[in-house]
């Protein structure tokens, strides 16, 4: 058995209420470094629809959204996802993640990102995963670096957050099982 503090899993309909509560509790915190969501996003019905759509997205190899759960309690403490999936010669995707503010700084997100990366490389056979983080969010950059990502450069004026175009640090990791 793993001694990990967190585990990842796909959401089920019964998670909608807890997902709504976690997102609502952290709305201001999440929107500090991410584009804001509409008020509808913070409803149980919307979360339920996202869970249902998530199954279709996985079946069609479009997007993979995971819940991050605290091992001792099973509590949902965050989410991580693989999106911008490109197959063919690229075999790449992008990782994104959020973590409940009360669980920050304890290594939970690094563990979760490592688990998502492992799934992406072993199960989904991706060659390359990119991640982007605001230079104003050094904790997020550290998470990616601790999970094995390497800095590649700055994507200028990359993402609009609170009405302002922000630069982002681009990091990537290559599947170590892919031979050159």
Domain total in the chain: 1
Q: Which domain holds residue 17?
A: 6-174
**Would 180 be classed as within a structural domain?**
no
pLDDT, tens digit (0-9, with 9 covering 90-100), for 153-174: 999 998 787 788 888 999 999 9
**Would 88 be classed as within a structural domain?**
yes
Cβ contacts of residue 145 below 8 Å, gap of 6+?
151, 171
Element (H, E) at 20: helix 16-25
Span 103-128, mean pLDDT?
Answer: 96
**Would 55 be classed as within a structural domain?**
yes
Residue scoring higher pLDDT (40 or 138) = 138
**Would 85 be classed as within a structural domain?**
yes
Are the beta carbons of 38 and 50 closer than 8 angstroms? Answer: no
**Would 83 be classed as within a structural domain?**
yes
Residue scoring higher pLDDT (154 or 27) = 154
pLDDT, tens digit (0-9, with 9 covering 90-100), for 58-106: 999 999 999 999 998 999 999 999 999 999 999 999 999 999 999 999 9
User: How would DSSP label each residue in 128-155?
Assistant: EEEEEE-TT-HHHHHHHHHTT-EEEEEE
* CATH number of the CATH domain containing 70: 3.40.630.30
39: pLDDT strictly greater than 50: yes
């Amino acid at each position: 058995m793993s001694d990990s503090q967190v585990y990842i899993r796909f959401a089920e309909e019964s998670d909608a209420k807890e997902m709504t509560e976690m997102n609502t509790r952290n709305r201001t915190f999440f929107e500090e470094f991410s584009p804001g969501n509409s008020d509808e996003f913070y409803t149980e019905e919307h979360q339920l629809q996202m869970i249902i759509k998530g199954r279709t997205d996985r079946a069609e190899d479009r997007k993979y959204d995971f819940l991050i759960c605290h091992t001792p309690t099973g509590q949902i403490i965050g989410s991580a996802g693989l999106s911008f999936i490109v197959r063919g010669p690229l075999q790449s995707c992008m990782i994104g993640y959020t973590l409940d503010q009360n669980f920050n700084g304890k290594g939970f997100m690094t563990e979760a990102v490592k688990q998502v990366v492992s799934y992406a490389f072993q199960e989904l056979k991706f060659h390359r995963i990119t991640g982007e983080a605001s230079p104003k969010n050094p904790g997020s950059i550290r998470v990616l670096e601790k999970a094995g990502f390497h800095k590649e450069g700055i994507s200028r004026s990359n993402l609009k957050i609170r009405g302002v175009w922000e630069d982002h640090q681009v990091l990537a990791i290559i599947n170590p099982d892919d031979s050159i």
